[in-house]
Amino acid sequence: MQSERKYLYRRDAPVPEQHLLSDGNDWIILSTFIHIGKCAGTTIAKELQKRKIIHTNTVHCAQATYHDTYKYIISVRNPIRRFISAYNWQHYCITRPTEAQCRGDHREELRLFDFYKNINGLAESIYDQNGNLDPKAYHFIQGKKEWGYRQIKEDINWYIGEFLKACPPEQIAAVVTMENLKEDMKKIFDITVTLHEHDNQNIYDTSLTELGTKNLRKYLAKDYECLLKLKELGLITNAYYENFGSNP
């Protein structure tokens, strides 16, 4: 017997034929999950898979490209909190290399982690006294090819900045916010989330000074523009934007 499937839309809802793909026995909606790093994407993907909610493609550690035959699911988060989590996750990976993509020669990167000491040390160093971007801090954020994937660099704008310019709002089926993960997953997919994968918030220092916050707000300005765009398109609520999308 074929396993029960769940769908992002009601099966009797009108869906253009170009958004459907036959698997031989049924029809599924072509959809891409844009898994922005450190926005609870691993949890979202696992929960969708467990509940047999079909998404046919995942974009992770790659920039999203718009295709008019797809619907899209996007995970987002407050940009500064995402950046902090990415910094701490990178440090965790290279000091406890349990993930294959984090293995390799990270001696220079570790020296830079030691130099900045913590996320606030990096944040306070991003700009000099004249407001110019510091080359050393920028080099650390951007990384080298041999350092592997770079979730500090791969921010919200990196994933969807250009994508949002091309994608009509009706093609974005859902936006899941990390801060409201449980509420969003229940409302959108009728899923009760009990476990948050890769949650490193309690392992490292996440505090920022006023200067560190100010610098990250400036550095991540395009991330905040992406959240404003999602609000203007009606894809995140005004309340979410006011709480997490316009403030550090």
| Structure confidence at residue 22 as a pLDDT band (50, 70, 90) | very low
Asked if 77 and 36 count as a contact pair (C-beta separation under 8 A), the reply is yes
Q: Mean pLDDT throughout 182-204?
A: 79
pLDDT tens digits, one per residue of 119-137: 999 999 999 999 999 999 9
Asked if 159 and 63 count as a contact pair (C-beta separation under 8 A), the reply is yes
Q: Mean pLDDT throughout 161-173?
A: 95
For residue 1, pLDDT over 90 is answered with no
Cα angle: 198, vertex 215, 143; to 5 degrees = 55
Position with higher pLDDT, 11 vs 92: 92
For residue 200, pLDDT over 80 is answered with no
| Structure confidence at residue 95 as a pLDDT band (50, 70, 90) | confident
| Structure confidence at residue 94 as a pLDDT band (50, 70, 90) | confident
HEC string for 66-84: CCCCCEEEEEECCHHHHHH
For residue 5, pLDDT over 50 is answered with no
Q: Give the relative orientation of helices 156-166 and 221-232 as an angle to the nearest 10 degrees.
A: 40
Average pLDDT of the chain? 84
Asked if 71 and 19 count as a contact pair (C-beta separation under 8 A), the reply is yes
Q: What is the pTM of this model?
A: 0.85
pLDDT given at position 36: 97
pLDDT tens digits, one per residue of 47-62: 887 776 666 688 999 9
